[in-house]
Amino acid sequence: MALFYPRFSTWKGPTFHLEDLIVSEKHKGKGYGTQLYTAFIRHAHNAGVQRIEWNVLDWNTPAVHFYEKSGARVLQDWNTVQMDSQAMKNYLTKKN
């Protein structure tokens, strides 16, 4: 499964964000992940988006190498920032 959604970049315009690329354990190593990845890239290119984007954990070196080998850049200078529901509640409580 390739789960993605449209986004808009103020720098690049229309983009797609790849949330998850999932291949079940019993189907790994058969090329399905590469096929899904390629289909996603083809779809994004045909849709005319200016960029595709996703996250990869720094300890997942096989995935990092896979993406780099495909021509993707794994950015080292941007950090993912998240706030869960409790952190949102805490922030909003402090602002009142």
Average pLDDT, the chain: 94
Catalytic residue among 32, 37, 67, 91, which? 67
**Homologous superfamily of 2-95 in CATH?**
Gcn5-related N-acetyltransferase (GNAT) (3.40.630.30)
C-beta of residue 60 within 8 angstroms of C-beta of residue 24: no
The answer to whether the Cα torsion of 22, 62, 65, 11 is positive or negative is positive
Report pLDDT digits (tens) over 31-68. Answer: 999 999 999 999 999 999 999 999 999 999 999 999 99
The answer to whether the Cα torsion of 75, 78, 79, 84 is positive or negative is negative
The per-residue pLDDT for 29 is 92
Report pLDDT digits (tens) over 14-34. Answer: 999 999 999 999 999 999 999
Q: Can 91 be counted among the known catalytic residues?
A: no
The per-residue pLDDT for 81 is 86
